[in-house]
Structure 1
């Protein structure tokens, strides 16, 4: 796996410093973790198979309702025949409302059920939630990417000042490359708070050539902006036929990109001999050329609790290597 640019090899290295299995305070597993962003003194995790998010703080995990039940259900799965109903919240992005921190959760977009946005903010230390249908915005994003709506799979977002870069996962087997569009954060927040979703401008698109592993194309699952303007992308090589159905994951990776140029690409270390599909990234801190990330894992198994990984990404090394540090 080699995504370095011509004439330049920054040699990204990835270390796994922490591994934690996620369970709510009542012992129920956090499942299908798909996005993570800071909220108050903790971290809000989106679950793509649920109407609840998970608020991780002070070692505890609290459930936060973000959407009403669908046909009386709060959890959805293929085994139960309810996967088509799930809101599929895949994105968790830092935002603000009236200058106060908030988290924006966004659906993947491949069906009308998945074209909703949620805003979570704190009022007197308690989560306050607003949600809205955003179908016209998703239609505009599909048009900008020159895709039919059923090929949308908007799985990640990075925050760039007043702009959200929204990433479509893509599927090389279906001829869809990973790509992004730029959307003004304030307009997006306003739409979720009841504004006109059709009026949200959809800016330039960028495409990302991430290559393939064992004949399966790597595709973006999330992104995080670095202070220098570059972006770290998480990517998975998942043998899936379309934007809805899951498939076996043969490899996962981190890509360092500058604009639409892939500067370097490095495999994510296996944990306990298992390839974990990282679906959400959050930046804890950046110092001395190292990005310290939290990464959440969705193993596409409703019986397996999601995992949060503490990743340390060294962007200064002279030669590309992957090493696993001691789990804690």
Structure 2
């Protein structure tokens, strides 16, 4: 567990999301600005999953992840530098080079716990998978190219390659449900496919052909909109009762690569193919908290306890980790 400073009790946020009448009540119970042990900021936090006695946080603008353990935040290399760079930005003209790791999902390698990280697929630089496991408490990292699998996912979802933006995944036993963010402004609804976890792990490790990984059960979701901007999936987790919680952002952008103004962040409760309810995430310090990564801490007395990480799309600000309490109707 990572210590989070106690936030002033935020008022639970009701949905106010056009297209849904249910309620998901969300409160922010803790906030922590994330900095590495040397003081440099963790930026563009895009995904989070448990690793050992802590949490692994992916940065979508970097080849390096943050390993949160107690009060420590250690840097963990996931991929080699790209053209000599480990960090990428639009301002520096290097955004096109970034691997854009957007998914972190619990997995196993040869029966041992691991974290599976996946690129968004939005460009040909963003089609790699990474596996992180511990050997005697020391992280071991393997990476593999998965471009043929991404092409297959785009085909199954009937999404053009330049609109593929795989930003979230939830684990369901031996299956990974992999979510395409979607963009209503471009006519692409949020969607998902199911992929066998073991086959995906083998492809990353080079034990199997990425083109041979089965892709099945395409789904699309109606998450509604806020202020005329459609909500799009940024991550997903499975709940103990089999339902899903999706994080979503209403970001006004024309495509799968460029950032845009974010008018709201939300959580959606999903059962099978049906979106049951959507609730807005409260603002933090007067700003929309663009939740891009979710991890389940537990469920107690009917309240879901989540660890969420926030990407402000601002390299000058450290990313934040939020403790969210969610009451589901």
Question: With structure 2 as the length reference, what TM-score do the two structures score?
Answer: 0.93
Partner of 2:27: 15
1:219 and 2:232 aligned: yes
C-alpha deviation, 1:4, in angstroms: 7.9
Q: Does 1:170 align with 2:176?
A: no
Matched, 1:115 2:127: yes
**Structure 1 segment 257-268 matched on structure 2, within 5 A:** 257-268=270-281
Q: SS in structure 1 opposite 2:79?
A: coil
1:254–1:265 CA contact under 8 A, matched in 2: yes
Aligned partner of 1:230 among 243, 248, 258: 243
Say if 2:324 is the partner of 1:311: yes
SS in 2 for 1:114: coil
1:113 counterpart SS class: coil
Q: Deviations over 1:100-155 (max 9, x none)?
A: 11000000001110000000000110110000000000000000000111111000
Matched, 1:146 2:158: yes
CA drift of 1:98 comes to 1.6
> Aligned residue for 1:323?
none
Q: Is the 8 A contact 2:223 2:231 kept in 1?
A: yes
- Say which structure, 1 or 2, has more relative contact order (CA 8 Å, 6+ apart): 1
| Pairwise CA distance, 1:304 | 0.8
Is 1:274 matched with 2:287?
yes
CA distance in 1, matches of 2:137, 2:104: 19
Deviation at 1:215, TM superposition (A): 1.1
Q: How does 1:282-297 map to 2 (within 5 A)?
A: 282-297=295-310
Q: What is the CA distance between 1:294 and its match in structure 2? A: 0.3
Alpha-carbon shift at residue 97 of structure 1 (Å):
1.1
The whole-number CA distance in structure 2 between the counterparts of 1:48 and 1:27 is: 19
Indicate the residue corresponding to 2:205 in structure 1.
193
- For 1:201 and 1:117, the matched residues in 2 are separated by 16
Q: Distance between the aligned counterparts of 1:171 and 1:84, measured in 2?
A: 20
Partners of 1:211 and 1:192 in 2: how far apart? 35
Separation in 2, partners of 1:73, 1:156? 25
Q: 1:29 aligns with which of 41, 48, 56?
A: 41
CA contact (8 A) 1:4 1:264 kept: no
Could you tell me whether the CA contact under 8 Å between 2:19 and 2:223 is conserved in 1?
Answer: no
Matched, 1:129 2:152: no
In the alignment, the residues of structure 2 paired with residue 268 and residue 209 of structure 1 have an alpha-carbon distance, to the nearest angstrom, of 18
Partner Cα separation in structure 2 for residue 3 and residue 144 of structure 1: 28
Give 2:65's aligned residue: 53
Partner of residue 320, structure 1: none
Deviation string, structure 1 residues 204-251 (Cα, Å, up to 9, x no partner): 111110111111111010011001110001110000110000000001
What is the alpha-carbon distance in structure 2 between the residues aligned to residue 288 and residue 260 of structure 1?
26
Q: What is the distance in 1 between the residues matched to 2:146 and 2:319? A: 28
2:109 aligns with: 97
CA distance in 1, matches of 2:113, 2:169: 17
1:248 aligns with 2:261: yes
1:206 matches 2:206: no
Deviations 1:37-60 (A, max 9, x none): 000000000100000010000110
User: Residue 139 of structure 1: SS of its match in structure 2?
Assistant: helix
Report how many residues are paired.
313
For 1:214 and 1:233, locate their aligned partners in 2 and report how far apart those are by CA, in whole Å.
Answer: 20
